[in-house]
Amino acid sequence: MGTWLAQHAHYIGAAKLKGQLYQVSYYPALVKGDDWITGDVYACPAEAWPHLDAFEEAEGLDPEYERHLTPVLLSAGQWLSAWVYWYRRPATGMTAVVGGDWLQHLLI
């Protein structure tokens, strides 16, 4: 899947959105909140979404994530709506990602 996406997805740019980021395990959980969370936006072909939903565990009777169109602010200053995977379960007891940058958090 990663190789296919690298060949077919188009990088739009760095972006941020309002939320709160937590560490579930070796992966992050994005929930509603007031912090700025940083990330990247890609344009993906429609046929990628079922595979991404499966990878992100956003399908089935009790999915871990839900995909929603969400306003994001590109680093260039434009707002757009992007598909974002939001964590569906309680974040109680999880470690907050200070600063809202998952990749920076991994380096700490």
Mean pLDDT of 16-38: 97
pTM: 0.92
The pLDDT score that the predictor gives to residue 3 is 81
Domain tally, the chain? 1
Residue 20 pLDDT > 70 = yes
- The CATH number covering residue 87 comes to 3.10.490.10
57's tokens = 């565990």
Which range, of 5-14, 43-52, 83-92, averages the lowest pLDDT? 5-14
Contact 105, 95 (CB under 8 A): no
Mean pLDDT of 83-94: 96
| Spatial distance between the Cα atoms of 9 and 11, rounded to a whole number of angstroms | 7
Contact 102, 21 (CB under 8 A): yes
Give, in order, the Cα–Cα distances in Å from 64 to each of 29, 90, 104, 106: 9, 10, 24, 21
The count of other CB atoms within 10 Å of the CB of residue 22 is 19
pLDDT digits (tens, 9 = 90+) for 30-86: 999 999 999 999 999 999 999 999 999 999 999 999 999 999 999 999 999 999 999
The pLDDT score that the predictor gives to residue 1 is 63
Residue 16 pLDDT > 80 = yes
Give, in order, the Cα–Cα distances in Å from 103 to each of 45, 60, 108: 25, 29, 9
Domain carrying residue 13: 2-107
Residue labelled with tokens 């680093």: 75
